[in-house]
Structure 1
Amino acid sequence: MVSRPRPSDNPLLFLFLVGGVTPSELRLIKDTVSKLKPGTQVLILSTRLLRPMDIPKLLFSSQRLRPDIGL
């Protein structure tokens, strides 16, 4: 008896992160995937590569607190 293929059987993982990712997060993703599923290749795409100093600026920017509603 042969089982049906599952998405987790694929040796390639595509991961798209919206909003940006830091280099330390990239390393964490790579290390976690290699521990949980050895031999899997990871392709990580993102809208932006962030530096650690970008995060407080993006979180606490006055423009983020008052979004443009087109008035």
Structure 2
Amino acid sequence: MGLSQDSGDADLSGNEITDYSVINVRNVTELPKTGAAGIVLFAVVGLLFAGAAGTVFAKSRATERALRA
């Protein structure tokens, strides 16, 4: 299966004459998902690192306050 079927029409130089029809998408869900899995993976890992950093920061502040008291 190729991009277009052989129509049997050719111009003088032998190049195939084809007509293409393009359908515009109506919403974002119709767009291709190329590379989306990798982006989602990096986003999830980034959020996990940010959450871990926030937890470590909060724990270190609590420990620092406890030592000063």
Question: What's the TM-score once normalised by structure 2's chain length?
Answer: 0.24
Query: Greater relative contact order (Cα 8 A, min sep 6): structure 1 or 2?
Result: 1
More strand by share: 1
- Structure whose alpha-carbon radius of gyration is higher: 2
